[in-house]
Amino acid sequence: MDKSPQPEYRAGYVALVGRPNAGKSTLLNRLVGQKIAAVSDKPQTTRFKIQGVITEPRGQIVLVDTPGVHKPGYEMNRRMMATVQDALMGVDLVCLIRDASVRSGAGDKFVLELIQRAKKPTVLLLNKIDLLKDKSALLPLIESYRTEYDWSEVIPVSALKGQAMDALPGELIKHLPAGEPIFAEDELTDQSVRTMVAEIVREKILQTMGDEIPYVTAVVVEQWSEEREDFTRINCAIFVERASQKKIVIGKGAERLKAIGIQARQEIESLLGHRCHLELFVKVEKDWRDKVQLLNEMGIS
């Protein structure tokens, strides 16, 4: 019989912080094992904190996905950056996700300054190493970051390809405080199903639109009717700022809106575990990113 002491159970909150497109949401989804955050190659995809829960025999990690760090302009952007600040102050550990495939810029310096001011234990994750033809290119980047902060760990990974991801939960857990689990073992996120549905629709808009429309769309679930145990009727409003943008989202003969709806419905049905009817409407709301009440309804608090 093995009488060796068992490692102490650890649990805590871990903030995922980085520039837009660093791969934070992809990393969150990969670690949790289920898509709970919208993923896109466009900036500002994440607009509010999304918690993903990883529970292992040795500990529990509550991941807090935050908006990509950028200079705030609209009220929406100011709220998003306040979310980042709150996350940095309220977590036990920070993960700075840095796109290792691009050169350093002013944005990277700004994120680094946020980390330095927060003075929290921080793991540096150098993401997208699958895009590097020569992995030795990581060495000067690692050396540069080591001179800027006392990192708990420096770990090169590829969230998209899953490279070096298997050992990551264990590396994070060992830097968390000893304590009881925060969430039940079978819980993956604190997000409501309605919020996740709105995120799915918004992701399909971003993926379908390409560069045809500025990043000025938002999705709100306006009606949710569970008509049977195996069938749900959902109405979602897609907000844009101008009538010209509404025409682009709808497309000729409503073909683009139909394509968005079909892709979203398939993923929503997988989430719900049964059939649903998804109705999408496009609404013009000028300057919605500056309207406090509408932002509150969207959960961008």
> 226-255: per-residue pLDDT in tens?
888 899 999 999 988 888 889 999 999 999
Q: Identify the pLDDT of residue 233.
A: 95
Query: Do 107 and 19 contact (CB within 8 A), yes or no?
Result: yes
| 147 phi-psi bin (left φ>0, alpha ψ -120 to 50, beta other) | alpha
Is the whole-model pTM more than 0.85? no
Query: Do 143 and 137 contact (CB within 8 A), yes or no?
Result: no
Distance CA 241, CA 230 (A): 36
Q: Identify the pLDDT of residue 47.
A: 46
Q: Identify the pLDDT of residue 285.
A: 82
In a 10 Å sphere around its CB, with 0-12 CB exposed, 13-18 middle and 19+ buried, how is residue 298 labelled? buried
Instruction: Print burial letters for 123-152: b (CB count within 10 Å at least 16), e (below 16).
Output: bbbbbbbeebeeeeeeeebeeebeeeeebb
Distance CA 127, CA 140 (A): 15
Q: Which residues of the chain have pLDDT under 50?
A: 1, 44-48, 70, 74, 214
Q: Identify the pLDDT of residue 277.
A: 95
Q: Identify the pLDDT of residue 79.
A: 57
Query: Do 69 and 107 contact (CB within 8 A), yes or no?
Result: yes
Q: Identify the pLDDT of residue 56.
A: 92
CB-CB neighbours of 177 under 10 Å: 11
Distance CA 64, CA 7 (A): 25
Query: Do 198 and 222 contact (CB within 8 A), yes or no?
Result: no
Q: Identify the pLDDT of residue 185.
A: 85
Q: Identify the pLDDT of residue 187.
A: 83
Which runs of consecutive H residues, i.e. helices, occur in 147-192?
Answer: 168-173
Name the packing angle between helices 255-272 and 243-250 (round to 10°).
Answer: 70
Looking up tokens 């996350």 gives: 87
Q: Is the dihedral of CA 21, 76, 48, 97 positive or negative?
A: positive
Distance CA 42, CA 285 (A): 22
Distance CA 296, CA 301 (A): 6
CB-CB neighbours of 197 under 10 Å: 23
The pair phi, psi for residue 40, each rounded to 5°, is -155, 160
CB-CB neighbours of 74 under 10 Å: 15
